[in-house]
A and B are shown apart, each in its own frame.
Chain A
Amino acid sequence: MQDNHSHENHEISYSTYLLVWVSLIAFTSITVAVAGINLGDYTLFVALCIAALKSGLVINIFMHIKFEDPIFKVFIGISIFTLIVIFTLTFFDYFYR
């Protein structure tokens, strides 16, 4: 029973959610504005960094991972690591073919 309600101790207030939403909209505006500037090779890198920041906010706050059991974070870490390995191996193959 205790487990069922463990996360209830971390009820997030409406204002926190609103604040996160405002940040997400702000990041979106930044990413659109930055896309107009020619940063050469860094354009994609900057866009992906902003997208990663936004994802972090959504995962941690909206999806409650910040307050979830640590095993959830381990799972997410493993999935992201798996994706990175797949990308890295594919690009090794692609570049040195």
Chain B
Amino acid sequence: MSNHTAELTHEVHRDDVGARMGMWLFLFTELLLFGGMFLVYAVYRHEFIDQFRIAAMALNTTVGALNTIILLTSSLTVALSIAALQKGNKSLSIMLLVMTNILAVAFMINKYFEWSEKFQHGIYPGSETLLNLPDGQILFYGLYYVMTGLHGLHVIIGLIFLSIVMVFIFTGSVNKDSYVKLENAGLYWHLVDLIWIFLFPLFYLIQ
């Protein structure tokens, strides 16, 4: 009898807390990656307060705010998707992930138009127009492109990560009783949201 139980336990053994902890440890490395950039930003902003202000005024606050709302909403849909799967509502969970992906694409489309507008004005890394600006503004735009660019890359990776988990839910390998993959994809997505929460005021809201 006891043998039988042991066998059963062995078959279903897994460590969800450990899996989430592994994800968190990875997220800390991401935090340090972006932390380093925020540090560079902090020092240069302190050194070129006025130039940063002038450069930031040229960014579109409305687009930035819209993207903030889009990302916050996509975080909500991921969180709801996990809750739906916990309650055993598979189709709702998938639908919410589809919504998340749509929002992620909307974010990137916004970003595309925002960057294209800057490119049209000749402001892109290494452009002549940009290099003729004062040092502080060159640094601001350099940081703007690197930080929002790296963040955008994370959005794309998150989008792929969530899509893969969505397929797992569809095939049933991620389900009501085993959904740590969805939780970890969600954690990654929330981190993308967290970084944007800081990028938004630092780049778009300097007056």
Contact = CB atoms under 8 A, between A and B. Distances in A.
Interface string A60-97: 01111000110110011001001100110011001000
A43 B190 contact: no
B175 interface: no
Interface string B55-95: 00000010001001100110110111001001100000000
B31 interface: yes
B28 A79 contact: yes
B14 A79 contact: no
| Range for the number of chain A residues in contact with chain B | 35 or more
B205 A32 contact: yes
A21 to B, nearest CB: 4
Contact of B15 (A3, A11, A48, A91): A3
Q: Is the interface of A mostly helix, strand, loop or mixed?
A: helix
A54 to B, nearest CB: 5
A32 B67 CA distance: 13
Contact of B20 (A18, A68, A87): A68
A71 B46 CA distance: 36
A11 B201 contact: no
B106 interface: no
B43 A83 contact: no
Contact of B194 (A11, A14, A55, A79): A55
Interface in A39-64: 43, 47-48, 50-51, 54-55, 58-59, 61-64
B16 A24 contact: no
B141 interface: no
Contacts of A69: 17
B80 A58 contact: no
Contact of B31 (A25, A38, A71, A79): A79
A28 B68 contact: yes
A87 B42 CA distance: 9
